[in-house]
Amino acid sequence: MKNKKGKFFVLEGGEGSGKSTQIRKIQEYFGVRVLITREPGGSPYAEEIRSIILNSKNAGQADAKTHFALFWAARADHLKNTIIPALARGQNVLVDRFDSSTYAYQIFAQKASELKGFFWEMRRFYLGKYVPARYFFLDVKPRVGLSRKQQQTGEKLNHFDERDVQFHTRMRRGLLDFFKQVPHSTIDANPQFDTVTKALAAELKKYII
Ligand code: TMP
């Protein structure tokens, strides 16, 4: 592993796609070969920004432009302090959400199409050569995902989770648009959990060596 650089992957999916639970299964399966991290967050400073974005009592009132800047700021720190060092050690990295979420949530779901051109400039500027090699998309119908989410007792909902089905439908449309432009694999996340785990693990195995 010494002189080999790790590869950089992203796991993406809508609310209720089972992403958080699937990622724990994936960690058990791949062990230390893969560093699993998340956005927003993934480094100490970016986790503080996460808390402002998701937990502040005022967060629900902030507009897309404000969130857009905060997500990119958190991402810059996460990349520098967690992702790049892991890749340099030869570890593969799998991030739970990344710039695909900014594209889908801020530009589509929060209806800020004026940020589209700017998004690709930010991507070039902030990511440079650290562009993910592949995105894995757990695709669930927004209605199915939201009803799953509402049934999960004990899970803390953020202000994005609580928005209506139209918001989540626009978000999914944003992801589909983003994935036209980057390498990706789509995994049907509508079936029951174990079926999805098998399909996801089989797809990841093709790329994570
Ligand atoms: P989660 O990690 O529990 O899914 O929560 C993260 C929330 O933040 C989720 O609702 C999606 C949202 N989000 C954005 O709106 N833009 C982004 O760039 C990222 C990474 C997440």
Q: Is the pLDDT of residue 158 over 70?
A: yes
Q: Is the pLDDT of residue 192 over 80?
A: yes
The whole-number pLDDT of residue 195 equals: 96
| Of 29, 27, 62, 55, nearest in space to 41 by CA | 55
The whole-number pLDDT of residue 40 equals: 98
The whole-number pLDDT of residue 65 equals: 97
Q: Is the pLDDT of residue 89 over 60?
A: yes
Which of 82, 105, 122 for a ligand 1 pocket mutation test, highest count of atoms within 8 Å of Cβ? 105
CB burial of 51-76 (b: ≥16 within 10 Å; e: otherwise) equals eebbeeeebeebebeebbebbbbbbb
Inter-residue contact 93 to 27 (CB < 8 Å):
no
3-state SS track over the chain: CCCCCCCEEEEEECCCCCHHHHHHHHHHHHHHHEEEEECCCCCHHHHHHHHHHHHCCCHHHCCHHHHHHHHHHHHHHHHHHHHHHHHHHCCEEEEECCHHHHHHHHHHHCCCHHHHHHHHHHHHHHHCCCCCCEEEEEECCHHHHHHHHHHCCCCCCCCCCCCCHHHHHHHHHHHHHHHCCCCEEEEECCCCHHHHHHHHHHHHHCCCC
The whole-number pLDDT of residue 3 equals: 57
The whole-number pLDDT of residue 147 equals: 86
The whole-number pLDDT of residue 41 equals: 98
Pick the CATH number of 8-205 from 3.40.50.300, 3.40.710.10, 1.25.40.10, 3.40.50.1360: 3.40.50.300
Give tens-digit pLDDT for 98-120. 999 999 999 999 999 999 999 99
Beta partners for residue 96, in sequence order:
11, 38
Which of 108, 115, 152, 160 for a ligand 1 pocket mutation test, highest count of atoms within 8 Å of Cβ? 160
Q: Is the pTM of this model over 0.85?
A: yes
Percent of the chain with pLDDT over 70: 98
Q: Is the pLDDT of residue 148 over 80?
A: yes
Task: Report the nearest-CA residue for atom 13 of ligand 1.
Answer: 101
User: Of 24-28, 50-54, 65-69, 152-156, where does mean pLDDT reach its minimum?
Assistant: 152-156
Inter-residue contact 107 to 64 (CB < 8 Å):
yes
Percent of the chain with pLDDT over 90: 84
Rounded-to-integer distance, Cα 96 and Cα 40, Å = 9
Q: What is the mean pLDDT of residues 119-131?
A: 98
Residues with CB under 6 A from ligand 1: 38-40, 71, 97, 101-102, 105-106, 158, 160-161
What are the residue boundaries of the structural domains of the chain, listed by start? 8-205
